[in-house]
Amino acid sequence: MPRSQPEPAPAPAPAPAAADAVATAAAIDAAAAAATADTGDAVATADAADAAEILRAITRIGYLITRARRHDLVRTVAEVPLDRAAVMVLGQLAEAGPVRPGELAARLEVEAPHVTRQVQRLQQAGYATRTPDPDDHRAQLIQLTPAGTAASDRIRQAGTTSMQAALAHWPPNELHQLATLLHRMVDDFLAYSAAEELEQPAP
């Protein structure tokens, strides 16, 4: 009879050192994953805290800039006898140039009757005028008169002078950085707000 072949010997068990190395590597990977998760949570917490502080600072400066006493001071320095609502319309017209009433209301995010009242006040003060829209003679454009432009410039200069005095001790590079970041923040927030409004269901 033919001689039977011997059975193959079993594979040797992993050496203890190799097994320990595999276990150690797995433990390191698990620890790294946990650390990454903890870091993400910490960053999210820090981001939320920073966002809350930014909102708090903006709320404070918004109150200080728009309060009645501040407006009265700027109005006196600039020699512009307008209330705060009319000053807002004046500034928007200075920035936008000739616009239709509806566009002006949209820029200010107010109802059209509010704009109509404030434009009438500007017209009575000699600061604004209405002209036919060259693209549609049925419509009208609102624009500043030379006196209105001069009044807007005086208001802006009064505000700029106050801001310069308040931040006079800041290094120029920090002032430039602040101005850059503020504009970036406003642009990003406006873009976010516009996208958020589009996602809202129609009433």
Strand partners, 141: 131
Strand partners, 143: 129
Q: What is the pTM of this model?
A: 0.65
What residue spans of the chain are helical by DSSP H? 16-66, 68-78, 84-96, 101-108, 112-124, 146-166, 172-199
Place of tokens 């920073």: 50
Distance CA 61, CA 54 (A): 11
Q: What is the mean pLDDT of residues 13-25?
A: 51
Model confidence at 46: pLDDT above 70? no
CB 143 within 8 A of CB 98: yes
Task: Provide the 10 A C-beta neighbour count for residue 42.
Answer: 10
Residue 121: pLDDT band by 50, 70, 90 thresholds?
very high
**148 φ, ψ (degrees, to nearest 5):** -65, -40
pLDDT for residue 12? 52
pLDDT for residue 203? 59
CB 89 within 8 A of CB 115: yes
Secondary structure string (H, E, C) spanning 13-40: CCCHHHHHHHHHHHHHHHHHHHHHHHHH
Model confidence at 14: pLDDT above 80? no
**144 φ, ψ (degrees, to nearest 5):** -80, 145
Model confidence at 176: pLDDT above 90? yes
